[in-house]
């Protein structure tokens, strides 16, 4: 039994076979690094989360050949071109159009995935995404990380929750699949606060989520605060406990693209247990079985929607004292 809706099963349904994500670096920066909003970047970020991304330059075809050679032994025939590094919509729309048109028209690219920020989706960019999405599926990955304003300020995110809400509204209007990133273990957040972020994302009408463990990386300001003892990294047991609460709070049809972190091991300071991804994933899957966790089991929105559906179909019955539904 699948306890959550995984990316792999979603990809098989969509494309009929295993489809690999290839990470590319489009040569972007972001507004919290280039001085537009800040120069320091997000407090946890060691450089755009694209350590394995292939630089594209002006020639996507060449970059595609390089990226494919890395997974040549997998025998894959379909790929998702994932523009992972920095903010993938933070450039003049002409440059974005040239880059992404090349990527989406490549015969082996089944879909285009772009990592970006909710505050970097102007009307011209949104219209470009709409056009590209008519050719092949376009996925937009939004870095939200948390819904809590104090944490958002601490991590130097640089936009309010209302900006996220509006970006999601605009993307939904254009029928663009949206995946939201959140971080588990940010300083000052309780398990309940983290679960609230997952619940909010689940209710916001997006199609996918990446649940990521907070990594403390070498050279970041987060590392300084951790070394100063201002907060503790999560243990594996704590992480799994919070993760389970998040999974239960998400709608059952939302695709979970990631259950843990995926950072470069060489810059990881803590938690070191997260470096062994295979062991972590095995521990998570065993715990989901042990604790009988299923996605959506505690999704209040889903239950109320089901109740409304049942009401409209007249399938609810009164209990003996006629005071509550069963
Ligand atoms: S996390 Fe994203 S938005 Fe923040 S500094 Fe890194 S690349 Fe820029």
pLDDT, position 74 = 84
- Which domains does the chain show, CATH number per domain? 7-295 (3.80.30.30)
Q: Name the token pair of 148.
A: 């809590």
Nearest ligand 1 atom to alpha carbon 30: 8
Residue range 155-165, pLDDT digits in tens: 999 999 999 99
139 Cα: distance to centroid of ligand 1 (angstroms): 18
> Can you tell me the distance from the alpha carbon of 108 to that of 252, in angstroms, rounded to the nearest whole number?
31
Element containing residue 256 per DSSP (H, E): strand 255-258
168 Cα: distance to centroid of ligand 1 (angstroms): 19
From residue 96, how far is each of 21, 78, 90, 132 by CA, in Å? Answer: 20, 23, 8, 11
> Can you tell me the distance from the alpha carbon of 281 to that of 160, in angstroms, rounded to the nearest whole number?
32
pLDDT, position 315 = 36
Look at 322 and 89; give whichever has higher pLDDT.
89
pLDDT at 303 over 80: no
What would the mean pLDDT of 101-127 be, rounded to a whole number? 98
Across 74-78, 130-134, 213-217, least confident range:
74-78
pLDDT, position 201 = 98
pLDDT interval class at 22 (50, 70, 90): very high
Q: Name the token pair of 165.
A: 């809400």
pLDDT, position 317 = 31
283 Cα: distance to centroid of ligand 1 (angstroms): 29
Which residue is associated with the tokens 């992972």? 84
Q: List all residues whose CB is within 6 A of at least one atom of ligand 1.
A: 30, 32-33, 41-42, 45, 48, 86-87, 117, 143
Whole-prediction pTM: 0.92
> Can you tell me the distance from the alpha carbon of 216 to that of 274, in angstroms, rounded to the nearest whole number?
11
pLDDT, position 73 = 87
pLDDT interval class at 263 (50, 70, 90): low
pLDDT, position 305 = 67
pLDDT, position 302 = 77
User: Candidates 23, 26, 30: which one to mutate for ligand 1, based on the most atoms within 8 Å of Cβ?
Assistant: 30
> Can you tell me the distance from the alpha carbon of 237 to that of 287, in angstroms, rounded to the nearest whole number?
9
The answer to whether the beta carbons of residues 19 and 13 sit under 8 Å apart is no
pLDDT interval class at 52 (50, 70, 90): confident
pLDDT, position 100 = 98
Look at 12 and 304; give whichever has higher pLDDT.
12
141 Cα: distance to centroid of ligand 1 (angstroms): 13
The string of DSSP letters for 154-219 reads: HTT--S-HHHHHHHHHHHHHTT-EEEEEEEES-TT--HHHHHHHHHHHHHTT-SEEEEEEPPEETT
* Shortest-distance Cα residue to atom 5 of ligand 1: 41
Q: What is the mean pLDDT of the chain?
A: 91
185 Cα: distance to centroid of ligand 1 (angstroms): 17
What would the mean pLDDT of 149-171 be, rounded to a whole number? 98
Q: Name the token pair of 57.
A: 């330059």
> Can you tell me the distance from the alpha carbon of 112 to that of 60, in angstroms, rounded to the nearest whole number?
13
pLDDT, position 265 = 79
Question: 235 — alpha (psi -120 to 50), left (phi > 0) or beta?
Answer: beta
């Amino acid at each position: 039994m699948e306890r959550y809706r995984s990316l792999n099963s979603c990809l098989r349904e969509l494309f009929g076979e295993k489809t690999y994500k290839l990470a590319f670096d489009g040569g972007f920066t972001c507004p919290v690094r280039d001085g537009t909003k800040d120069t320091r970047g997000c407090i946890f970020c060691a450089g755009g989360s694209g350590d394995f991304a292939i630089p594209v330059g002006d020639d996507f075809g060449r970059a595609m050949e390089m990226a494919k050679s890395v997974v040549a032994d997998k025998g894959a025939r379909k790929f998702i071109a994932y523009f992972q590094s920095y903010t993938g919509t933070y450039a003049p729309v002409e440059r974005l159009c040239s880059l992404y048109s090349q990527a989406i028209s490549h015969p082996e690219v089944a879909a285009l995935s772009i990592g970006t920020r909710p505050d970097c989706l102007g009307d011209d960019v949104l219209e470009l995404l709409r056009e590209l999405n008519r050719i092949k599926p376009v996925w937009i990955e939004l870095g939200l990380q948390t819904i809590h304003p104090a944490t958002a300020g601490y991590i130097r995110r640089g936009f309010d929750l209302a900006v996220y809400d509006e970006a999601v509204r605009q993307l939904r209007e254009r029928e663009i699949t949206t995946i939201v990133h959140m971080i588990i273990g940010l300083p000052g957040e309780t398990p309940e606060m983290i679960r609230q972020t997952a619940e909010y994302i689940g209710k916001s009408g997006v199609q996918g989520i990446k649940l990521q463990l907070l990594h403390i990386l070498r050279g970041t300001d987060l590392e300084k605060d951790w070394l100063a003892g201002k907060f503790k990294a999560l243990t594996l047991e704590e992480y799994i406990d919070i993760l389970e609460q998040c999974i239960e709070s998400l709608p059952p049809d939302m695709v979970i693209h990631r259950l843990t972190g995926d950072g470069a091991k060489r810059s990881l300071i803590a938690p070191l247990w997260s470096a062994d991804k295979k062991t972590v994933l095995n521990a998570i899957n065993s715990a989901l079985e042990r604790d009988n966790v299923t996605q959506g089991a505690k999704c209040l929105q889903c239950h109320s929607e089901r109740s409304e559906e049942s009401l409209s179909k007249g399938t609810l019955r009164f209990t003996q004292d006629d005071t509550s539904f069963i």
